[in-house]
Amino acid sequence: MGEYPGIKLIAIDMDGTLLDANHQVSEENRLAIREAEEKGIKVVLSTGRAIRTVKDYAVSLELSSYLVTVNGSEIWGPDGELVERNPVSTPLIKWMWDMSKHHKTHFWAISSTGNWHNEMPEDFEKHVWLKFGFDVEDDKVRELILKDLEARKEFELSNSSLKNIEVNAQGINKAKGLKNVCDLLGISMNNVLSIGDSLNDVAMIKEAGIGVAMGNAQDAVKKAANWVTATNLESGVAKAIRKWAI
């Protein structure tokens, strides 16, 4: 065992964390995850991505447990079943879409059935929406949008890069999703090792027994963490797993 004997679940962010610049999982990361699973430690991908772009990774890694997707908006079970869904109301999605048009920003949105980039479906009111994202190059414009979002007090706000804003339903984040998974598994958040690189990882890093920031993580994430590992190009996930869990 590593320095912390209580790890029963490892929560891993995907982009900028588990995945390299080509969206691949290194052999070192793959081996460390396999060893953790063989020791009976559950490995959970905890990501801003939708299930459609997570499933193949989970299958190829031979994961046996839950998946926390869209920053906690959805939790998927070991047999591919939907355990929980926490949507953003359609009027709020429309308000954010209008705001992106007003500020002429790029945006993306995730529904229960598809991902949308810089356009929305004609029948968008018939969709179940899980997350809205603003992609904004201009720092001043991003600050204005963030202030308007904060003023509503109806959202969970984070990011997955320094240029974007990710918007989930209020109170929904990766930590909340992982707490629910822990309840289902009968373990505590103290038994969790969380690894991530962006603001949407901060809650799960702070609330885990051990929170690890990637070497390429944003400064705020490094400050929130117990330990900083190597970058996503240097198999930092494997190094964290080997230090703290196996």
Catalogue the active-site residues. 13
Instruction: Count Cβ atoms below 10 Å from residue 103 Cβ, excluding itself.
Output: 16
**What residues contact 28, with CB distance under 8 A and at least 6 apart?**
235, 238
> 187 exposed, middle or buried (CB, 10 Å; 0-12, 13-18, 19+)?
middle
What is residue 198's DSSP assignment? S
Instruction: Count Cβ atoms below 10 Å from residue 184 Cβ, excluding itself.
Output: 15
- Is residue 73 within 8 A of residue 47, CB to CB? The reply is no
**What residues contact 233, with CB distance under 8 A and at least 6 apart?**
20, 21, 216
**CA 15, chain centre distance (Å):** 9
162 torsion bin: left (phi>0), alpha (psi -120 to 50), beta (else): alpha
Where would I find the beta strands (DSSP E) of 70-158? 74-76, 82-85, 106-111, 115-117, 129-135, 155-158
Q: Element (H or E) spanning 29, and its range? A: helix 27-38
Q: How far is CA 175 from CA 97, 116, 142, 244, in A?
A: 27, 25, 25, 19
